[in-house]
């Protein structure tokens, strides 16, 4: 008997309204966190600018979020694309270095394979002798 009363006290339209409110709250917090991360990621804002936007977004959330979207909304997409391209380039460079046989030495963009190829080229041109080639090769492979 109590279940029937509960169903009558909370009609279906109220359930849909509650679901809509929950969805809007989740959307609002997603947008708020997206804007906060964009504030910190932005390199063209000074420290004071970041602090100002952050205070505005936290203290007056509705006005702050709308003002940020109007003033800097177009740049948000560009910064997202730039970060994605940078992450993809870093990933491709990592894969390329791993395929060559390890990460390149600090400060240089060369690997041991490049150094060995250069040594073989010097030996073929006659710039170094066989003994010098063997010593340099042993030094690289150790």
Domain assignments of the chain as residue spans, ordered by start: 1-76, 103-142
pLDDT digits (tens, 9 = 90+) for 85-118: 998 988 888 887 776 655 555 555 567 777 888 8
* List of long-range contacts for 51-55, beta carbons under 8 Å, 24+ apart: none
With bands split at pLDDT 50, 70 and 90, how would you rate the model's confidence at 132?
A: confident
pLDDT digits 0-9 by tens, 34-65? 999 999 988 888 999 999 999 999 999 889 99
For residues 106 and 124, give the distance between their C-alpha atoms in angstroms, rounded to a whole number.
28
Backbone angles phi, psi at 113, to 5 degrees: -65, -40
Res 17 pLDDT > 90: yes
Q: Is the pTM of this model over 0.75?
A: no
**Cα separation, 33 vs 40, whole angstroms:** 11
């Amino acid at each position: 008997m109590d279940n029937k009363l509960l169903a009558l006290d909370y009609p279906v339209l109220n359930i849909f309204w509650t679901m809509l409110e929950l969805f809007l709250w989740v959307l609002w917090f997603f947008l708020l966190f997206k804007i906060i991360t964009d504030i910190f990621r932005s390199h063209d804002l000074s420290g004071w600018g970041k602090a100002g936007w952050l205070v505005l977004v936290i203290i007056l959330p509705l006005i702050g979020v709308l003002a940020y979207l109007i003033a800097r909304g177009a740049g948000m997409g560009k910064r997202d694309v730039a970060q994605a391209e940078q992450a993809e380039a870093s990933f491709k460079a990592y894969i390329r270095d791993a395929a060559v046989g390890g990460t390149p030495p600090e400060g240089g963009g060369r690997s041991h394979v490049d150094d060995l190829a250069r040594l073989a080229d010097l030996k073929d041109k006659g710039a170094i002798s066989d003994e010098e080639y063997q010593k340099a090769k042993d030094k690289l492979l150790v």
